[in-house]
Amino acid sequence: MRFMYDGTNLVPEPLTAGGEKVVPISRVATIPIYELNPHFSPSSELLSFLAGRQLLLDELPFSLEQLHSHYENGYVSYQKGIISTTQRHRCLRCGNDAPHLFASFFCARCETICTYCRKCVTMGRVSECTPLVVSNVPPERVVYPHSLAWTGTLSNAQQQAADAVVQAIEQHAELLVWAVCGAGKTEILFPGIQRALARGDRVCFATPRTDVVLELAPRLKQAFPSVPTIALYGGSEERNKQGSLVIATTHQLLRFYHSFDVMIIDEVDAFPYSVEPMLAYAAEKARKEPSALLYVTATPKEDWQRDVRQGRRTAVTIPARYHGYPLPVPTLEWCGNWRKKVTRGTLPQNVLTWVKKRLDEKKQAFLFVPHVELLEKVAAILQRLDHRIVGVHAEDNARKEKVQSFREGNIPLLVTTTILERGVIVPNIDVAVLGAEDDVFTEGALVQIAGRVGRSAQYPGGDVRFFHFGKTKAMVKAIRHIRQMNDEARQKEGLR
């Protein structure tokens, strides 16, 4: 959209009388900001919709006239979507400034060559003539003094971690919660979330994966039943709702602006957050100043682990699972050139034997494969053993339904890519990796995959098998990592 700007007033082109000189918002030197007019009667619906968010005009269900009247009276502000220098462009929604991630086209809205950001285009196009709209009114602070309905108890190690989380929230500090898979990380956060809500804080629980959002949302809604809680992910029906407790994929944070007093980033080492600076930018933009920032993971990056050991990063560590049993240690098993066998329509005999045993014992299992193109072939081969076996991957339209069906016990074995290495909890399963030597199976990924097994106190053990065509450093490191955590847990707390 183009604006008329006379050095004092900024008016969207559709609201001008016509004939005035108009320019894309990116070419306005300084966007005027008006003081709040106490005599203006703002729309509570508009301010509620926009509270803590940074949105495109196309995302707002309000007329331009209504929106602009709120701007002129100081209740909302326009921001540039893209700023330009002689050297490069920068997207202010996602932080992208890589030249190859911008493109130019003839824009019908600004009637000139216009540059847009390709990095975040799936969230709606931000171009040189695109204003971003934010509210100047802080989100309403609602106090929930007794919000936590969870009545479970924490172990000594869990309680120490929970106390550290509460302290970090009260001090607006940064904290890493390094806890093994199955340590009860979510429950450890409950007292801190309760404390934040009792102060009127807004809390965001962000995670890189949609599956983790779908896993966490019902648990958090059950734990905090009196608190408006929304889950945001691609296709979410709650996208336009507001909540004091938000569970979201990290991509959804691009739509927030100075919104949260407490930002919890779960599985901070997971793809895509671990390799995508845009998501860290989005998380930072979504936080208020000051605010607390909590990172939660079982597998922090090597440099973070080193920082913790050397005292450069504040962390609390939980090496034991909540039920006191050790982490299952994976077994390495050579399976030959499995890719060639898949091409020929079969699998290595030891892999088939492993699968058949699970089917015979009626024990559910995950079989992880490196890539989508292999997944369908492997699933088709295994369907000869049991027609109920299916595969699932990130772009699968039936992904949500398949995972839920697996949870309900209708699918005996689920062939999956690394999308299910985290978050999905099934009480009694075994896990195998086919092609564990592939680069996609990093140390962290393999530790997380092994962590799917033995999470229930009723079923604390299980089989973890890494089928490979050559042992890698990642496999060795993953097993060492698990054993070290078990050793530390024995020393600190004693294992069953």
At 101-159, the pLDDT tens digits run: 999 999 988 888 999 999 999 999 999 999 999 999 988 899 999 999 999 999 888 99
Q: In 300-420, which ranges are E strands?
A: 315-318, 331-334, 364-368, 390-392, 413-416
- Between CA 56 and CA 333 the distance in angstroms is 52
Segment 160-168 mean pLDDT: 96
Task: State the sign of the Cα–Cα–Cα–Cα dihedral 262, 266, 269, 275.
Answer: negative
- Between CA 203 and CA 259 the distance in angstroms is 9
- Six token digits for residue 284: 């930072």
Question: Taking Cα atoms as reference points, which of 291, 193, 201, 282 lies closest to residue 244?
Answer: 201
Q: What are phi and psi of 299, to 5 degrees?
A: -135, 70
Chain-centroid distance of CA 310 in Å reads 28
**pLDDT at position 9:** 87
Answer whether 74's CB lies under 8 Å from 136's CB.
yes
pLDDT above 70 for 494: no
Segment 355-367 mean pLDDT: 97
Q: In 257-308, which ranges are E strands?
A: 260-266, 287-297
CB atoms within 10 A of CB 39: 5
68: exposed, middle or buried (Cβ count in 10 Å: 0-12, 13-18, 19+): middle
Residues, the chain? 496
Instruction: Write out the DSSP string of 117-172.
Output: ESTTGGG---BTTPEEEEESSPPP----TT---------HHHHHHHHHHHHHHHTT
pLDDT above 90 for 491: no
At 454-467, the pLDDT tens digits run: 988 899 999 999 99
Task: State the sign of the Cα–Cα–Cα–Cα dihedral 101, 281, 224, 271.
Answer: positive
Q: Find tokens 């969870």 and name the residue.
A: 150
Segment 314-338 mean pLDDT: 93
Segment 5-12 mean pLDDT: 88
**pLDDT at position 428:** 93
Q: In 270-313, which ranges are E strands?
A: 287-297
Phi-psi map region of 138: left, alpha, beta (phi>0 left; psi -120 to 50 alpha): beta
When pLDDT is cut at 50, 70 and 90, the band that residue 229 belongs to is: very high
**pLDDT at position 423:** 66
% of the chain with per-residue pLDDT over 90: 77
Parallel/antiparallel/unpaired status of strands 2-5 and 22-24: antiparallel
341: exposed, middle or buried (Cβ count in 10 Å: 0-12, 13-18, 19+): middle
- Between CA 129 and CA 112 the distance in angstroms is 10
**pLDDT at position 209:** 84
- Between CA 124 and CA 58 the distance in angstroms is 8
When pLDDT is cut at 50, 70 and 90, the band that residue 213 belongs to is: very high
**pLDDT at position 296:** 94
At 412-461, the pLDDT tens digits run: 999 999 988 876 788 899 999 999 999 999 999 999 999 999 988 899 99
Instruction: Please state the pTM of the whole predicted model.
Output: 0.85
Q: Find tokens 């030249």 and name the residue.
A: 99
pLDDT above 80 for 405: yes
Q: Identify whether 290 is preceded by a cis peptide bond (ω within 30 of 0).
A: yes
Q: Find tokens 């978050």 and name the residue.
A: 423
What's the DSSP call for residue 33? -
Question: Helix-strand-coil percent breakdown of the chain, rounded to 5?
Answer: 35, 25, 45
String of b and e for 183-207 (b: at least 16 CB within 10 Å)?
bbbbbbbbbbbbbbbeeebbbbbbb
